[in-house]
Amino acid sequence: MKGKVYLIGAGPGDYRLLTLKACDCLGLADTVVYDRLADARILQYAPEEAELIYVGKASSQHTMTQDKICQLLVDLAKAGKTVVRLKGGDPFVFGRGGEEALLLQENGLPFEIVPGVTSAISVPAYAGIPVTHRGVAASFAVVTGHEDPSKDSSDINWQQLATATDTVVFLMGVANLPRITARLMEHGRSGDTPVAVIRWGTKAQQQVWTSTVAEAAAMAEREAIKPPCIFLVGEVVKLREKLSWFDNPAIRPLFGKRILVTRSRAQASRLTAGLEELGAECLEAPAIHIQPPADDFAALDAALTGLADFDWLIFTSVNGVKYFFERLQHLGRDSRALAGCQICAIGSATAEGLHSYGIVADVVPEEYRAEGILAALQGRIKAGDRVLLPRAAEARNVLPEELSRQGAEVAVVPAYETVAGEADGTALVQQLAQGKLDAVTFTSSSTVKNLLALLGDGAPDLLSRVKIAVIGPVTAATCRENGLRVDVQAGEYTIAGLIKAVKEAF
């Protein structure tokens, strides 16, 4: 049985510029063949069991030649695989997608082209430079900047190109800037024409340099500018002064900051998205993994079977809510089983989690920690009341101990447990040692303990080089107990509160 190949444009760098169709196709993949410019987070849309084959090509450095890549796609499709060929930008804009498609066609193999957002227009847009603008530029050209300078003759019609369009965009052209600018001026382009060099456009490490055609090559050498870059020529470059947004600190105050997010992989996205919206580059390194408890829900299931015997249900996390209702449904019951209980949620996020199951919490304390719950429940829980507390297998005992002292009958049951995550400790040590991180966020005591274990004996010294941001006082206390300095603590003990605190800290 023949397979099928999807030739997909991954976009210019910002993974959120991936198209909906590209996401759908990735979800079908048996094998993903991807290159250097695709953001690694794009791979999360492929099935966990999909084979990933890296064939990236940097300037003068090829993991696999183009001929071999083409043949690889043919071989995989002939083996019956559904293949996604993931290429930076658009596969048909200097992406050599045409060569890959032609060989597939010659071998009678089905394929589809999924266009991507090309860097030719998106990278300038992220730099605040429109390639066309009324009264300034009515046309633009996209040209390879990677042409071999040793060729006897150029495939580019420099005489026509130099002045034919208002804006000229050279892709992959930084290494050839002396030759490109010389040819432009030789054929009539003024040396005073504004230019921009944009490196890693649309990504958090984006850099933009502006100059003129005459001075561009010297500027690139002076600034030691390296690929990947685009080179843009035209009067539209002047508009950057007013239209800069992506790397504008007034709009995105965390731009240029690299922040380590230690939450579990399944929960990191909300924190990452919030920080990235403010301009930060987030490195997700899950220090914890959430999984079922060691007793495989035996204690929780027993409590759920006798749910009618409890007067109060107290939820101290969104995870507790999730596993509680999953097991309730597993036992063939639904939220009607809670009719006899009053319900307390530790904070707004946990209350929202309950709301998704049709439950409105009776009590949400003003302070989102165990001490806040105790204050909010003062006088409401009476001696003899039975309280069910489904929570993490390892958690502070302040709440159950104090409720017991007040005469309540408290049943603490593990709904889940946190274990060490799959983050690469060696890579994190290198990032911290090389000063490549500006801050680390901790959302629980377990993220602190597990990151310290991942980093090893030198962890306190490594973490002294960055700002440490925590979600609340309990996590802050765990940091200090382990010799870490706390620089930032959220005023409201939520993800939104942590994002706000990090923003204000920088």
Taking only the tens of pLDDT, the chain with its 506 residues reads: 789 999 999 999 999 999 999 999 999 999 999 987 657 889 989 999 999 999 986 555 557 899 999 999 999 999 999 999 999 999 999 989 999 999 999 999 999 999 999 999 999 999 999 999 999 999 999 999 887 766 667 889 999 999 999 999 999 889 899 999 999 999 999 999 999 999 999 998 899 999 999 999 999 999 999 998 999 999 999 999 999 999 999 999 999 999 999 977 666 688 999 999 999 999 888 877 888 998 889 999 999 999 999 999 999 999 999 999 999 999 999 999 999 899 999 989 899 999 999 999 999 998 888 888 999 998 899 999 999 999 988 888 889 999 999 999 999 999 999 888 777 889 999 999 999 999 999 998 989 999 999 999 999 999 999 999 999 999 999 999 999 999 999 999 889 999 999 999 99
What angle (nearest 5°) sits at the alpha carbon of residue 103, between those of residues 99 and 104?
115
Tokens of 398: 């302040």
pLDDT of residue 62: 55
Rounded Cα distance between 491 and 371, Å, is: 15
The identity of residue 214, as a single letter, is A
Pick the closest to residue 345 from 315, 321, 369, 380 (CA basis). Answer: 315
Distance, CA of 333 to chain centre: 37
pTM of this prediction? Answer: 0.80
Rounded Cα distance between 72 and 51, Å, is: 13
pLDDT of residue 45: 94
Q: For helices 445-455 and 425-433, what crossing angle results, to 10°?
A: 80
> What radius of gyration do the chain's Cα atoms show?
28
pLDDT of residue 150: 62
Q: Quick one: which H or E segment has residue 5?
A: strand 4-9
Tokens of 39: 């953001």
Q: Give the end-to-end CA distance of the chain in Å, rounded to a whole number.
A: 57
Burial class (CB within 10 angstroms; exposed 0-12, middle 13-18, buried 19+) of 470: buried
Pick the closest to residue 218 from 182, 186, 187 (CA basis). Answer: 182
363 and 438, same domain (yes or no): no
> Is 308 within a domain?
yes
Helical ranges in 54-208 per DSSP H: 66-78, 97-106, 119-126, 158-164, 177-186
> Is 134 within a domain?
yes
SS3 (DSSP) at 381:
coil
Task: CATH number of the domain at 207, please.
Answer: 3.30.950.10
283 and 335, same domain (yes or no): no
427 and 399, same domain (yes or no): no
Task: CATH number of the domain at 29, please.
Answer: 3.40.1010.10
414 and 426, same domain (yes or no): no
387 and 498, same domain (yes or no): no
16 and 79, same domain (yes or no): yes
Pick the closest to residue 394 from 483, 293, 475 (CA basis). Answer: 293
> Is 328 within a domain?
yes
**Neighbouring-strand partners of residue 201:** none
pLDDT of residue 58: 58
> Is 225 within a domain?
yes
> Is 248 within a domain?
no
Catalytic residue numbers read 35, 57, 172
413 and 431, same domain (yes or no): no
Domain boundary at 116, 139, 167, which? 116
Rounded Cα distance between 118 and 169, Å, is: 12
pLDDT of residue 63: 72
Number of domains in the chain: 4
> Is 253 within a domain?
no
202 and 282, same domain (yes or no): no
The residue segments making up the domain with residue 279 are 258-287+421-505
SS3 (DSSP) at 142:
strand
Domain boundary at 386, 418, 450, which? 418
Task: CATH number of the domain at 372, please.
Answer: 3.40.50.10090
331 and 185, same domain (yes or no): no
98 and 18, same domain (yes or no): yes
> Is 202 within a domain?
yes
312 and 354, same domain (yes or no): yes
233 and 313, same domain (yes or no): no
pLDDT of residue 208: 98
**Cα distances (angstroms) measured from residue 286 to each of 22, 41, 499:** 26, 14, 18
> Is 293 within a domain?
no
Domain boundary at 92, 116, 140, which? 116
